Amino acid sequence: MDESVAWRLSEMANGMERSRILSIAASVRAMIAEGKAVAPFTVGDFSPTQFEVPSPLIDAIIEAVSEGETNYPPAAGLPELRSALANWMHEKYGLDVGSDGIIVGSGARPVLYASFRLFLEPGDGLAHGVPAWNNHYYVHLNGAIDIPLQGTPESRFLPTASQIESRIEDIRVLILNSPLNPTGTCFTANELRDICHVVLNENRNRSEDGRKPVILVYDQVYSTMTADGIDHVHPVQVCPEIFDYTITLDAISKSLTGTGLRLGWMALPPALAPPVVALIGHMGAWPARPIQKAAAKLYEDQATLESYFDDLDDRILSRMSLLQSRLDPLSQYGVNYVEPEGGIYLSTHFDLFELLNVTTNEEIRQWLLDEAGVAVVPFQAFGLEEDTGWFRISIGAVSVDDISQAMDRLEQALTNASSH
């Protein structure tokens, strides 16, 4: 950065990084615009041509606009939306915060940021899994101390209770994400219960010493999309005592494939809500009123919602199953994956270092893009800095045919590489 620019900016702004995922995606879009055959397994977005939002939601948005619902909404969200979301979460996950415990934001990011600002002072510890989406950026934005909890293929890249316990005295906020972006894996009930017990034991000790407790921020924006035989689990379902220390984040961005509609929410103990409402109000980070009106109607109709979720799971499964079936024979070249459990991601191991005579993930990523038209994101974009050969594949913007053609190209490229 030019020194004259840096001199005018804050220390935080000077140290702020751009998302690596978005940088990779921009280069991929440029290649596609040039007419090159590239499968964009990159950004965790949904192509509207592949995954459309529920038609009742669109109809209700149009109706709300036509009826003049275009003025400011309340900072916390429309009462009918907060009530509908509270009832839905209680019914689906056993989490009862009431409408007063629901704060609406323009997507999940504002309420995620608010959840950190609500509890973190500069120098407090923010613990998060690695790999995981954007947490290392939020550490910087909040002046927090970074406490990365590095997962392994054996742990399905999820942080474990023993890891958390080893750092618990340093943690003020612990953020967990399930299903996990970028790995497509989910906490089991036992894994989540063990983590909750670690947090509760620490908080009992802190209560005696008058120290502030550990807060669990639970990001479940992919909660409605799980693989066959996998159930999404909420902390309160397995450990009701964690309620007072748990902040839940959710959104229609993924569950209704409406990433551009920008509606998310925070569910928290109602007594903690007023400062969040104030912060969201100061930020002006509320969704447009027509979106809120429409979402309220849809979330009151739980049968329609569940039908949409079932259909979405089927469409995700058709893509994941094809992807797995085509990757399985490529294990002979060093290509493997972690079994997908939820969301739209597949943790894929392109262990091609010896085959390609390279040493970095970036070299493998570029080879996949140039030789096979397969655009993927290395786990470095999610905080795992080592060159391990692990990458995220996202199926949100590709068709079944796109996957089939991409796997044809990949198989041919690997065959060619092995013959040299």
Q: Both tokens of residue 120?
A: 């973190």
CATH topology of domain 3-51+307-418: Aspartate Aminotransferase, domain 1 (3.90.1150)
For 55-301, the fitting CATH number among 2.60.40.10, 1.10.3720.10, 3.40.640.10, 3.10.20.740 is 3.40.640.10
Query: For position 373, what pLDDT does the model report?
Result: 94
Find the angle CA(34)-CA(37)-CA(38) to the nearest 5 degrees. Answer: 95
Q: Using alpha carbons only, what angle is made at residue 392 by residues 386 and 393, rounded to the nearest 5 degrees?
A: 155
Residue 350 bridge partners (DSSP): 335
Angle at Cα 104 formed by Cα 121 and Cα 57, nearest 5°?
150
Nearest to 81 by CA among 65, 57, 62: 57
Spell out the residues 6+ positions from residue 17 whose beta carbon is closer than 8 angstroms to its own. Answer: 137, 140
pLDDT at position 1: 58
Positions of E strands within 310-418: 335-337, 345-350, 374-375, 377-378, 390-394
Euclidean distance between CA atoms 235 and 193, whole angstroms: 7
Q: How far apart are CA 51 and CA 342, in angstroms?
A: 16
Please state the domain extents for the chain. 3-51+307-418, 55-301
Cα 141-267-274 angle, rounded to 5 deg: 75
Backbone angles phi, psi at 302, to 5 degrees: -65, -30
| Spacing of C-alpha 313 from chain mean position | 17
Residue 237 host element (H or E): helix 235-238
Which pLDDT belongs to residue 14?
84
Question: Encoding tokens for residue 90?
Answer: 């209680």
Distance CA 289, CA 135 (A): 29
Q: Classify strands 335-337 and 345-350 as parallel, antiparallel or unpaired.
A: antiparallel
Q: Which of 403, 408, 222 is nearest to 320 (CA)?
A: 403
Dihedral sign from CA coordinates of 48, 86, 225, 345: positive
Angle between helices 55-66 and 289-300 (to 10 degrees): 130
Structure tokens at 213: 């407790």
pLDDT at position 166: 98
Distance CA 264, CA 128 (A): 21
**For every one of its 420 residues, what pLDDT tens digit does the chain have, with 9 covering 90 and above?**
577 788 788 888 888 776 677 777 777 777 778 888 889 998 788 999 999 999 999 999 999 999 999 999 999 999 999 999 999 999 999 999 999 999 999 999 999 999 999 999 999 999 999 999 888 888 988 999 999 999 999 999 999 999 999 999 999 999 999 999 999 999 999 999 999 999 999 999 999 999 999 999 999 999 999 999 999 999 999 999 999 999 999 999 999 999 999 999 999 999 999 999 999 989 899 999 999 999 999 999 999 999 999 999 999 999 999 999 999 999 999 999 999 999 999 999 999 999 999 999 999 999 999 999 999 999 999 989 899 999 999 999 999 999 999 999 999 999 999 987
User: Which of 109, 396, 43 lies closest to 250, judged by CA?
Assistant: 109
Q: What is the pLDDT of residue 21?
A: 73
* Eight-class DSSP state of 51: S
Secondary element (H or E) of residue 129? strand 125-130
**Tokens representing residue 112 in the block:** 């995620």
Alpha carbon distances (Å) from 239 to 195, 198, 242, 271: 10, 11, 6, 20
